[in-house]
Chain A
Amino acid sequence: MSTKIVIKRNTYFDSVSLMSLSTKANQIEGVEQAFIAMATQMNKEVLANVGLITPELEEAKNSDLMIVIKAASPELAEVAFEAIEELFIKKDSAVGGTALKYPTIESAVKNMTAANLAVISVNGAFAAREARKALENNLHVMMFSDNVSVEDEIELKKIAHERGLLMMGPDCGTAIIGNMALCFANKVRKGNIGIVGASGTGSQEISVRIHDFGGGISQLIGTGGRDLSERVGGVMMLDAMKALNEDEATKVIVLISKPPAKSVEQKVLNEIKNMHKPVVVCFIGGTEEAVLEAGGHFAKTTKEAALKAVILSGIDESQIDKHPLNLPLIEEIKVKLKLEQKYIRGLFCGGTLCDEAMYLAMEKYDDVYSNIPKDPEYQLGDIHISQGHTFIDFGDDGFTNGKPHPMIDPSSRIARFKQEAKDPAVGVIIMDFVLGYGSHEDPVGVMVPAIIEAKQAAEQEGRHLEIVGYVLGTDLDTPSVQEQLDKLVSAGVTYASSNTNAGLLARGFVEKGV
């Protein structure tokens, strides 16, 4: 183990930059621990307590910045230090862009007369008030904020409905309006397929699959996760369906959601009967009959929904690469796993991606537990301890309270991955890596060191640890899907071409005695 210490004399960075640099430094490959802090006497005392103080650090002054890197070898420490230096250089040269900031919605409306949409991303306690102001100024609203009361949501959607505006959210993470990707959306081709989604990552997945199959998106309208609940009544989904029905650029419409409340599902399906465009319905875990009866096109999975939409949009089916499931691979992996390696552990950033993989597992297995189960009987007793087949949505409140979403900060999932990899009953770990405008800049890269370590440890114990990775993104995203896939492959991960395939592969790998 080697420790490298660098003192930067009289160097000040604001607290936000310091914390951010420190977090990034800890994610550099080969670093066991890194910290960047002001060299005060008390911080030096902390270093002494953890056995890292040196004469050089003792000499540092209050106004100096200390960088301490602990790595496996001097070479790795040096490489890590160079990477940290690069972060400092980037920080220094990050001269702001030309975006204008307005302190209030009123001043933005006054100065940006062409604007017609407001993205609200303030704390939930104040989000409704800001959204109301935006609607009153005739702006469509995309509300990224969560923790907004259902009463406020109902009222805001009522105001929007009366004014002919969109009220996307609360808790709406994905939209593509006029080819402009908002919040977590991906960069996809412009086209003639419109999506209405009550699920952020579900909408992302369908938009990305459509892009992959050669289609494109006209609009992607998010509704927020509660829109299809009994109380909210699907106001936004119904308004969005009507809007897309009138939109000349849209030829086909896709609806994506977790299972809606029964009465709301009926309202949505009734609306399909009034529409003059084909509608593909993908309500994860939903049933086919009602959709067909309403004249819609049923899709059990996100992949199927995207494929049907692309074909309906006019793309020649024979020209589409459908990425069929790799059945020989399933047989190959089944042989590698021991009899006791019978469980799947799904560690997801995307809630709907988690749901989809979980429902696919539930078709084959009974003991499927989760922090977001369909049946409360299968709720994990302790969300930090897996049982049977376990599917975790790390974006759920139990994991995000006081912390950023795992698509931004992956640290909780990395820790859980290490825990699961040690369990001899685990056959396969499945993970999603979500690319998009607001997401982590290198979601695969931060996980790779843990993956390599876990696979090596399993091998030393004489077991094969199978890891399935799915990268949600397109060739237009930054980083690109290919770049991320290359990293997965180099770490020995099996990558899936879609979330649906990832779920199918995982459930196939652990199937015994067939």
Chain B
Amino acid sequence: MITEVSSFSVLGLVVGDEVFAENDQLYIGTKLSISIKELTVWQSSLSIFPIELKTLRDNLAAARAYINSYGKPGGIKQFAGSSSFERETMRLLEERSSGLLNALANDSMEEAAHYAIRLMGLGPGLTPSGDDFLVGLFAVIHLPRSPISKYQPWCREVVIEAAELTNEISYMALKKAAWGQVRESMGQLLHSLMYESKETMLLGLSAVLDIGSSSGTDIALGIISGLNLNLEQRWR
């Protein structure tokens, strides 16, 4: 459901209100009913990986610089860290995300699974940073004609483990991403990275960085890492 209201509190909705469906209506307590009779199911669609790569290369460099300046640290993006918990979390995220990317670059799928599984549920936030990074990476793997699209079955295999490793909300995002279903802003960012001007791309990137607290930054870094892998694979 997409809504433009800034807060549900103006509708009087509060945590704990009963949500139920009845007669093609979705009810939230006695405060809100939404007709779901003529709804169409939205599916994300990802753009085709391009043949001409100059735009992608230029935009990737600009996106990296932008994240360096505006991305939120604390997850995959590192900062000094004020507690031992933060420092250890970031150390593990760095070790495992790099390990995963190296393993994929070498087609070592078992090793890649080892690292991916150890990223699941790792990090701060409701959707832990490790999960967010994987969601970004999975999205790139599902770009049509992506040089790394051969890893799609691998995504579905490893995500089975996620059910036991992270919370239900984050698991659903991972599970969907493992089948190439991601939120609209991610699809738009992927498209703009591959085909659009730098200004348009930064608009898309900014929208993704706005997701959650550090989640958007972690997702964007997953996307960038995946696209880098694509560029490397093409030149083998």
In whole angstroms, how far apart are the Cα atoms of A38 and B92 in the complex?
16
Contact B214 A43 (CB under 8 A): no
Does B40 make an interface contact (CB < 8 A)?
A: no
Cβ–Cβ < 8 Å partners of B122 in chain A: 40, 42-43, 45-46
Interface locus among B20-28, B113-121, B183-191, B222-230: B113-121
By beta carbon, the residue of chain B nearest A22 is B124
Within 8 A of B (CB), among A26-51: 26, 33-35, 37-38, 40-43, 45-47, 49-50
Does B73 make an interface contact (CB < 8 A)?
A: yes
Contact A38 B88 (CB under 8 A): no
Contact B124 A63 (CB under 8 A): no
Shortest B134–chain A CB gap in Å is 12
Does B83 make an interface contact (CB < 8 A)?
A: yes
Q: Mark B2-20, 1 if CB is under 8 A from A, else 0.
A: 0011110110001100000
Contact A18 B121 (CB under 8 A): no
In whole angstroms, how far apart are the Cα atoms of A34 and B118 in the complex?
24
Contact B85 A35 (CB under 8 A): yes
Contact B121 A41 (CB under 8 A): yes
Does A319 make an interface contact (CB < 8 A)?
A: no
Given A19-B213, A401-B69, check contact A40 B206 (CB 8 Å).
no
In the complex, how many residues of chain A place their beta carbon closer than 8 angstroms to a beta carbon of chain B?
44
Does B215 make an interface contact (CB < 8 A)?
A: yes
Shortest B66–chain A CB gap in Å is 8
Does A318 make an interface contact (CB < 8 A)?
A: no
Partner of B213, one of A16, A92, A98, A126: A16
Cβ–Cβ < 8 Å partners of A46 in chain B: 85, 88-89, 92, 122
Within 8 A of B (CB), among A173-224: none
Contact B9 A42 (CB under 8 A): no
In whole angstroms, how far apart are the Cα atoms of A402 and B69 in the complex?
5
Contact B165 A18 (CB under 8 A): no
Given A38-B167, A42-B128, A43-B128, check contact A26 B82 (CB 8 Å).
yes
Question: Which among B79, B84, B86, B215 has the greatest number of chain A C-beta atoms within 10 A?
Answer: B84
By beta carbon, the residue of chain B nearest A12 is B126
Contact B68 A402 (CB under 8 A): yes
Cβ–Cβ < 8 Å partners of A50 in chain B: 84-85, 88
Q: Mark B119-142, 1 if CB is under 8 A from A, else 0.
A: 111111111101000000000000
In whole angstroms, how far apart are the Cα atoms of A130 and B118 in the complex?
43
Within 8 A of A (CB), among B73-118: 73-74, 77, 79, 82-86, 88-89, 92, 118
Q: Mark A59-70, 1 if CB is under 8 A from B, else 0.
A: 000110000100
In whole angstroms, how far apart are the Cα atoms of A128 and B168 in the complex?
41
Shortest B33–chain A CB gap in Å is 21
In whole angstroms, how far apart are the Cα atoms of A37 and B170 in the complex?
13
Please report whether the interface of chain A is mostly helix, strand, loop or mixed according to DSSP: mixed
Question: Which among B10, B199, B206 has the greatest number of chain A C-beta atoms within 10 A?
Answer: B10
Cβ–Cβ < 8 Å partners of B169 in chain A: 12
Partner of B130, one of A37, A42, A52: A42
Shortest A153–chain B CB gap in Å is 18
Number of residue pairs A-B, CB distance < 8 angstroms: 133
Given A19-B74, A50-B84, check contact A42 B92 (CB 8 Å).
yes
Given A42-B92, A92-B15, check contact A19 B70 (CB 8 Å).
no
Cβ–Cβ < 8 Å partners of B168 in chain A: 62-63
Given A18-B124, A19-B214, A101-B6, check contact A402 B119 (CB 8 Å).
no
Does B203 make an interface contact (CB < 8 A)?
A: yes
Cβ–Cβ < 8 Å partners of B92 in chain A: 42, 45-46, 49
Partner of B126, one of A15, A47, A96, A98: A15
By beta carbon, the residue of chain A nearest B9 is A96
Shortest A185–chain B CB gap in Å is 24
By beta carbon, the residue of chain B nearest A98 is B10
Does A112 make an interface contact (CB < 8 A)?
A: no
Does A125 make an interface contact (CB < 8 A)?
A: yes
In whole angstroms, how far apart are the Cα atoms of A101 and B212 in the complex?
19
Cβ–Cβ < 8 Å partners of B69 in chain A: 401-402
Given A16-B213, A126-B206, A402-B69, check contact A38 B126 (CB 8 Å).
yes
Given A33-B83, A40-B121, A40-B165, check contact A95 B9 (CB 8 Å).
yes
Contact A126 B212 (CB under 8 A): no
Question: Which among A26, A38, A41, A411 has the greatest number of chain B C-beta atoms within 10 A?
Answer: A38
Does A13 make an interface contact (CB < 8 A)?
A: yes
Cβ–Cβ < 8 Å partners of B181 in chain A: none
Does B178 make an interface contact (CB < 8 A)?
A: no
Does A103 make an interface contact (CB < 8 A)?
A: yes
Contact B121 A15 (CB under 8 A): no
In whole angstroms, how far apart are the Cα atoms of A334 and B215 in the complex?
52
Does B202 make an interface contact (CB < 8 A)?
A: yes
Cβ–Cβ < 8 Å partners of B70 in chain A: 123, 402
Does B180 make an interface contact (CB < 8 A)?
A: no
Does A14 make an interface contact (CB < 8 A)?
A: yes
In whole angstroms, how far apart are the Cα atoms of A402 and B127 in the complex?
21
Cβ–Cβ < 8 Å partners of A18 in chain B: 124-126, 213
Cβ–Cβ < 8 Å partners of B9 in chain A: 95-96
Cβ–Cβ < 8 Å partners of A100 in chain B: 6
In whole angstroms, how far apart are the Cα atoms of A34 and B124 in the complex?
13
Cβ–Cβ < 8 Å partners of B125 in chain A: 15, 18-19, 37-38
Q: Mark B55-73, 1 if CB is under 8 A from A, else 0.
A: 0000000000010111111
Leading 7 A-B pairs by shortest Cβ distance? A40-B121, A101-B6, A42-B122, A15-B125, A15-B212, A96-B9, A96-B7
Residues on B lying within 8 angstroms of A by beta carbon are 4-7, 9-10, 14-15, 66, 68-74, 77, 79, 82-86, 88-89, 92, 118-128, 130, 164-169, 199, 202-203, 206, 212-215
Known contacts A40-B128, A92-B15; 5 additional CB pairs below 8 A are A12-B126, A33-B85, A100-B6, A101-B7, A403-B79
Q: List 27 A-B contacts (CB under 8 A).
A: A15-B213, A15-B214, A18-B126, A37-B85, A38-B121, A38-B126, A38-B128, A40-B166, A42-B123, A42-B128, A43-B128, A45-B122, A46-B122, A50-B88, A62-B164, A63-B167, A68-B85, A96-B10, A98-B10, A123-B206, A125-B203, A126-B206, A402-B71, A402-B72, A402-B73, A411-B82, A415-B82
